[in-house]
Amino acid sequence: MDKIYNGLVTGYTHDGRGVVKDHHLAFIDGALKDETVEYTLTRTGRKFNQGKVTNVLTKSKNRTVPPCPYINECGGCHVQHMNDIEERDFKREAVFNTLRRHIKDIKVNDTVELDDLYYYRNKTVFAVREQRGNVVIGQFHKNGKDVVDIEHCMIQKRSHNEIIKALRNLIVKYNISIYNEDLHKGFLRHLIIRSNYDDSDIQVIFVTNGKEYSFKSLVNELVKDERITSVIQNIHTEKTNLVTSFDSVVRYGNEFIEDELLSRKFKVKDLSFYQVNHEITEKMYNEAIERAELKETDVVIDAYSGIGTIGQLLSRNVKEVIGIEVVESAVDDAKDNAKLNDIENASYVLGKAEDKIKEIIKEKTINTLFIDPPRKGADKVFLDTILEVEPEKIVYISCNPATLGRDLKILSEKYNVGRVTPYNMFSKTYHVECVVSLSKK
- Active-site residue list: 399
**Is the separation of the CB atoms in 318 and 292 below 8 Å?**
no
User: Cβ of 440: how many Cβ atoms within 10 Å?
Assistant: 11
Of 14, 156, 148, 157, which Cα lies nearest the Cα of 71? 148
> 18 has which bridge partners?
12, 28
The residue type found at 409 is K
Tally of residues, the chain:
441
50 bridge partner residues: 27, 43
Separation CA 109–CA 250 (nearest Å): 44
Question: Distance between CA 138 and CA 223 in Å, rounded?
Answer: 21
DSSP state of 317: G
Helix (H/G/I), strand (E/B), else coil: 133: coil
CA-nearest of 26, 411, 17 to 7 is 26
| 123-131/49-58 β-pairing | unpaired
CB contact at 8 A, 324 and 301: yes
How many angstroms separate the CA atoms of 114 and 55, rounded? 31
Distance CA 238, CA 257 (A): 27
Which run of H or of E encompasses 350?
strand 346-350
